[in-house]
């Protein structure tokens, strides 16, 4: 068996120790005599797993007690619908910072339920820059939506862009990659399949006052209050995915918590961006201050050569670096579970490819 360095944007690489733990507990988890996949979600054993995962997430992100953690399904994409359904209460409008595909999708869904006011957009730079936010553009919106890390365009907010009483953030691709101040937000949501586990689980962290949805007449499965009241067990949850997230949170603790995770993530990003900036062949045209620490875009600016590099990288066991179909080129996703060794291997591979290319193309 030979594992690759998996730079996929998500589902993404998991810590090897987590995979081994899953293997070890496959026939018997916590002395229950069965795997978590076979276990009733109403059993004592599963409720302990769910409660532990929830508490570990609260500890990891220092989530204040006036917040509820919900384990949902339907991907981060269902949140584009649930959020406006649950939060548009007074003005029936929301402010939105437009930074690419994922804010566009949120915008389109929110339009079914209210008015969307775009307070800043990165369109003019083709989303290569995080837009400047003009506070004068703010309205009396029920909430403000933004995406902290733009998985496709590879840009990231390195601090909270603007304060709002109900700040909503899509943290699908950078949750638990660094410490954050949860108290600044009304709602945070994220699919688990990048930094926190596997597909099938969406995590919602919601301030408790926002759970007052009784006047909205919402269908039960789309009502945050129903999930909160039932400890995310209104119906069968994605039990295996919750269990895996619990193991990933144990791993984050073992590594040293979010401060240490953030330090390692920054080190990986610095190594890779330095290699790109020092290269004569590979380029990254994202504004330096807006570059993502999670998804790193690079290209030779020649589609055919990029394709050749992607094939070459496989010989170094570097997989999953083909860029998104919109942005083309290459993209290396270096989430929490990607090792420094993996990033160094990719850099070596880039250097060797470049040297080979320059040799072939230098006529003396």
Contact positions toward ligand PMP, by CB under 6 A? 10, 75-77, 102, 147, 151, 170, 172-173, 191
- Work out how close the CB of 104 gets to ligand PMP at its nearest, in angstroms, rounded to a whole number: 11
- Work out how close the CB of 350 gets to ligand PMP at its nearest, in angstroms, rounded to a whole number: 24
Measured from the CB atom, the residue of 148 and 299 that comes closer to ligand PMP is: 148
Find all residues with CB under 8 Å of 24, minimum gap 6, and list them: none
Query: Quick one: tokens of 224?
Result: 């945050």
- Work out how close the CB of 359 gets to ligand PMP at its nearest, in angstroms, rounded to a whole number: 38
- Work out how close the CB of 196 gets to ligand PMP at its nearest, in angstroms, rounded to a whole number: 12
Paired with 322 in beta bridges are 330
The residue sitting closest to ligand PMP, measured at its beta carbon, is 75
Measured from the CB atom, the residue of 157 and 282 that comes closer to ligand PMP is: 157
The 3-state secondary structure of the chain, one letter per residue = CCCCEECCCCCCCCCHHHHHHHHHCCCCCCCCCCCHHHCCCCCHHHHHHHHHHHHHHHHHCCCCCCEEEEEECCHHHHHHHHHHHHHCCCCCEEEEEECCHHHHHHHHHHCCCCEEEEEEECHHHCCCCCCCCCHHHCCCCCEEEEECEECCCCEECCCCCCCCCCEEEECCCCCCCCCCCHHHCCEEEEECCCCCCCCCCEEEEEEHHHHCCHHHCCCHHHCHHHHHHCCCCCCCCCHHHHHHHHHHHHHHHHHCHHHHHHHHHHHHHHHHHHHHHCCCCCECCCCHHHECCCEEEEECCCHHHHHHHHHHHHCCCEECCECCCCCCCEEEECCCCCCHHHHHHHHHHHHHHHHHHHHHHCCC
- Work out how close the CB of 101 gets to ligand PMP at its nearest, in angstroms, rounded to a whole number: 8
Q: Are 122 and 155 in contact (CB under 8 A)?
A: yes
- Work out how close the CB of 363 gets to ligand PMP at its nearest, in angstroms, rounded to a whole number: 44
Burial class (CB in 10 A: 0-12, 13-18, 19+), 82: buried
Measured from the CB atom, the residue of 12 and 350 that comes closer to ligand PMP is: 12
Q: Are 357 and 305 in contact (CB under 8 A)?
A: yes
Measured from the CB atom, the residue of 95 and 170 that comes closer to ligand PMP is: 170
Measured from the CB atom, the residue of 191 and 347 that comes closer to ligand PMP is: 191
- Whether residue 351 is preceded by a cis peptide bond, meaning omega within 30 degrees of 0, is no
- Tell me the catalytic residues: 102, 170, 194
Measured from the CB atom, the residue of 9 and 318 that comes closer to ligand PMP is: 9
Shortest CA distance to 292 belongs to which of 4, 27, 9? 9
- Work out how close the CB of 170 gets to ligand PMP at its nearest, in angstroms, rounded to a whole number: 5
- Work out how close the CB of 291 gets to ligand PMP at its nearest, in angstroms, rounded to a whole number: 16
Measured from the CB atom, the residue of 104 and 279 that comes closer to ligand PMP is: 104
């Amino acid at each position: 068996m030979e594992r690759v360095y998996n730079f996929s944007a998500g589902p993404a690489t998991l810590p090897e120790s987590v995979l081994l733990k899953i293997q070890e507990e496959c026939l018997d988890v916590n002395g229950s005599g069965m795997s978590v996949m076979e276990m009733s979600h109403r059993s004592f054993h599963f409720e302990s797993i769910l409660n532990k995962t929830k508490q570990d997430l609260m500890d990891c992100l220092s989530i204040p007690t006036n917040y509820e953690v919900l384990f949902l399904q339907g991907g981060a994409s269902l949140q584009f619908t649930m959020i406006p359904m649950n939060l548009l209460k007074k003005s029936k409008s929301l402010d939105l910072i437009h930074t690419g595909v994922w804010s566009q999708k949120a915008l389109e869904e929110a339009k079914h339920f209210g008015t969307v006011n775009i307070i800043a957009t990165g369109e003019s730079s083709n989303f290569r820059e995080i837009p400047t936010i003009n506070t004068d553009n703010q309205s009396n919106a029920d909430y403000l939506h933004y995406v902290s890390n733009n998985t496709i365009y590879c840009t990231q907010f390195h601090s909270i862009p603007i304060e709002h009483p109900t700040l909503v953030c899509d943290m699908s691709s950078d949750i638990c990659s660094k410490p954050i101040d949860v108290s600044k937000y009304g709602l945070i949501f994220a699919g688990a399949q990048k930094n926190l586990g596997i597909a099938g689980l969406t995590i919602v962290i919601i301030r408790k006052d926002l759970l007052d949805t009784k006047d909205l007449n919402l269908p039960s499965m789309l009502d945050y209050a129903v999930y909160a009241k039932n400890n995310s067990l209104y119906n069968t949850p994605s039990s295996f995915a919750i269990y895996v997230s619990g193991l990933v949170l144990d791993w984050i603790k073992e590594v040293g918590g979010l401060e240490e995770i953030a330090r390692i993530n920054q080190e990986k990003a610095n190594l890779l961006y330095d290699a790109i900036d020092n290269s004569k062949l590979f380029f990254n045209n994202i504004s330096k201050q807006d570059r993502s620490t999670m998804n790193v875009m690079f290209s030779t600016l020649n589609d055919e050569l990029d394709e050749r590099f992607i094939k070459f990288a496989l010989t170094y066991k570097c997989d999953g670096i083909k860029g998104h179909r919109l942005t083309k080129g290459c993209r290396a996703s270096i989430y929490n579970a990607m090792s420094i060794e993996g990033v160094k291997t990719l850099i070596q591979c880039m250097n060797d490819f470049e040297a080979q290319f320059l040799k072939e193309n230098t006529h003396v």
